[in-house]
Amino acid sequence: MPSKDNASDASHSTRQSPRSSLLGRRLTQLLLWALGLVAAGLVVLLMVVAVAMVMAYPNLPDISDLADYKPKLPLRVYTADGQLMGEFGEERRNLTPIKDIPQVLKDAILAIEDNRFYQHGGVDYVGILRAGVANIGRMKSQGASTITMQVARNVYLSSEKTYTRKIYEILLTYKLEHMLSKDQILEIYMNQIFLGNRAYGFASAAETYFGKPLKEITIAEAAMLAGLPKAPSSYNPISNPKRARSRQLHIIERMEENGYITAQQAAQAKAEPLRLRSSADRKTLHAEYVAETVRQMVFAQYGQETYTRGLNVYTTIQSQEQAAAYRALRQGLMDFERRQIYRGPEQFIDLPSDPKKIDEAIDDALDDHPDNGDVMAAVVLEASLKKVVAIRQNGEQLTITGEGLKPVQSGLADKAPSAKQIRRGAVIRVVQMPKGGWEITQLPEVEGALVAITPQSGAIRALVGGFDFAKNKFNHVTQAWRQPGSSFKPFIYSAALEKGFTPSTIVNDAPLFFDGGVTGGQPWEPKNYDGSFDGPMSLRKGLAKSKNMVSIRVLQSVGARNAQEWITRFGFDADKHPPYLTMALGAGSVTVMQMATGYSVFANGGYRVQPHLINRIADYKDRILVDTPAPSHPEEAQRTIPARNAYLMTSLLQEVTRSGTAARAQATLQRPDVYGKTGTTNDAMDAWFAGYQPNLAAVVWIGYDTPRKLGDRETGGGLSLPVWIKFMETALRGLPVSEPAVAEGLVNIGGEWIYDEFARGGGIHSLGTPSESNKAPENLPPAEERSRILDLFKN
């Protein structure tokens, strides 16, 4: 029998069960009501979202153009041998098809951005739910973006994080997934996304950060690049190396976890040292003046599309010759600068006594004085007559002594003016000397130009329009009108050959004087460069020694107006060369390009060719849009002077480089097939050398933008000729000697070739008599013009 106590418990339990049952039913009802409300809320939410999507869908952008994806692609300018010279456009991008993207990069991207990319339908619902829960109560949404969603956002939507934009993003994602294949979507993503440092797409980023093609990147490099899309600035390996390294390691681990790489590969990738591309590593071909010229030409044809449609322009420039021209001109200008008075440091800064703050002060100062190629900026830490210690922006400390201080001795003297004194805190320029060590220098104020063209076609093979494009964008090859001085004399001599002169014609190098009664103004007494007169001499010697009296007498005989008409055959403008006797001494105006074109006429046997820069223009798929290759040989219709005239002028100009004012040319280059003429204008304001080898014509000019004296001893032979020789040493290397064949219509008499009709009589055998000084010269300039050019032009 049950005990009393047990009976009591049972009775108590029986009495409580109806109450507990009622409570349970009520709880169940409340739970069902709650679930019903949640379900109803979800239904309402889904209906609202559905209505919003239905309303939003018609407003979605048309994405049909993505089937033929054409991002903004910059204009790129290349040399004839395929080296990049310049790039113009807001976005630096190399469009790369999906088949050319290395698998290791695809794996890295998928591992960190969207591992289920090839499985899901474009939207990761779990990720969106997780992001929605995390953002309950917030006005902005974040997280859970798949690659397709990022494409929708990057191509069509803004970067704001709102629910409205998220709805548009999801709708666009479905639309993209319906229209495009997964590979097409991934290709757009990998070409479109911004990755910092003006790089758009991973191909451009590989070049920007590692200086290599995309196909050559390693696992470690791929992981570093894959970390950029999330935050290009925060994970930039150049500006934020620690954060970039942390994300790179995380991505390598994700690649291993997802089976893209093995544990051994992961360990090797983590241990691999990365070599980032610095500005010093960039092997830039300095052709900024060429690239800018091409940009202007292309823009004139294509307008604003120039910067977005991915045009690739292939020029006639030869990269090796362009590099040689750049080096030669810069060296010539820097050599000239070493002979100038030191103008003083570029700036003075106060260096703090706290060592921790010095680096910041130096960085701030040198940011305003960037390196100019091999002419680098530094801040002086200590200075004395025998030693200067300076520091560059990269932290390299330089000690300069001996020869390296010679150009700036005036700035180291105790009595040097404060503005010119080199002392602690001075911002100076330094260059490395050829034999080692450093030298203090200064950026040159003088300018220069060099252009080289193929005489037979006009193809421009090298063009340097100034010392530095960033410093001065004025193109001195095409834009500067300067007086050519004696480098213009060959065109006058060419006219003389048609009037009966021969290389052996004797011309008197004797004084000429025209008094006021003859000139109608001030007396005119032209001089030779050295002030001496050598008497009767052959036309050949007169040109070789650049005798001004000989040139003036030749022009008197030819006639200034006849000569003015003749020079137009070489491409010169008649109105830039008034028909006065001063034309014999190069008192007109020319451009460097005109001089190269003019000398090409002698080099190619008498044909006038047009300078030619662009060979072809192609689109981003390398489809040819413009194809204008330079002709290999000129046509007979282009003949502008007789072949025999060109041959005799080449013979005369060979004498200049053999025994005349440019004798250094043949002596240094050790070849006879170089021809040319020096030129130095009044008061040495312009220094020229124009010359050629039968396959290459090149012209060098040096002078100040605002004409002023280069120096009492500065001449074309001393300034421009060395630059020309330095360039030709590279340009003619390996090229066999090539001297022109004797042209038809010439006969050899006494060792000189002359026109056959003049050999039979009628030629001019001598010119100039003692009484000639009393004769009025033909076509003297007006009085006001003569007053400007009385002191005539030199060698």
Catalytic positions are 113, 486
Tokens 């150049």 found at: 238
User: Angle 391-393-395 (CA atoms, 0-180°, nearest 5)?
Assistant: 60
DSSP conformation letters of 282-325:
------HHHHHHHHHHHHHHHGGGGGTB--EEEES--HHHHHHH
SS3 content of the chain, % helix, strand, coil (to 5): 45, 15, 40
Show Cβ contacts of residue 148 under 8 Å, excluding neighbours closer than 6 positions: 117, 122, 123, 173, 176, 177, 185
Alpha carbon distance 180, 68 (integer Å): 10
Structure tokens at 336: 């000239």
Q: Using alpha carbons, select from 317, 329, 319 the residue that is nearest to residue 285.
A: 319
The torsion angles phi and psi of 154, rounded to 5 degrees, stand at -70, -35
Q: Do 306 and 75 touch, CB atoms closer than 8 A?
A: yes
Other Cβ atoms within 10 Å of 6 Cβ, number: 10
DSSP string, 628-685: -PPPSS--GGGB-S-HHHHHHHHHHHHHHHHHSTTTHHHHHHT-S--EEEEEE-GGG-
Token couple for 597? 């074109």
**Tokens of residue 754, six digits:** 């002359």
DSSP-derived pairing of the beta strands 376-383 and 438-441: unpaired
**Is 455 strand, coil or helix?**
coil
Residue 703 belongs to what H/E stretch? strand 696-703
Residues 6 or more apart in contact with residue 95 via CB below 8 angstroms: 71, 73, 191, 201, 203, 310, 620
- Tell me which residue has tokens 């071909």: 285
Strands across the sheet with 766-767, in order? 535-538, 506-509, 766-767
CA-based nearest residue to 105, from 260, 278, 258: 260
What angle separates helix 163-179 from helix 4-56, to the nearest 10 degrees?
70
Rounded CA separation 676/649 (Å): 10
355 contacts 398 by C-beta, under 8 angstroms: no
- How many whole angstroms separate alpha carbon 299 and alpha carbon 87? 13
Cα-based distances in Å from 5 to 9, 13, 412 = 6, 12, 116
Question: Which two structure tokens, joined as six digits, stand for 662?
Answer: 């440019």
Tally of CB atoms within 10 A around 35: 10
Distance CA 306, CA 312 (A): 10
Element spanning 170, H or E:
helix 163-179
Per DSSP bridges, beta strands 199-200 and 92-93 are parallel
Phi first, then psi, for residue 615 (nearest 5°) are: -85, -45
Residue 226's H or E segment, with its range, is helix 219-226
Closest CA to 365 of 382, 346, 349: 349
Separation CA 591–CA 576 (nearest Å): 11
Secondary structure (DSSP) of 520-551: SSS-B----TTS---EEEEHHHHHHTT-HHHH
Say if CB 757 and CB 505 are below 8 A apart: no
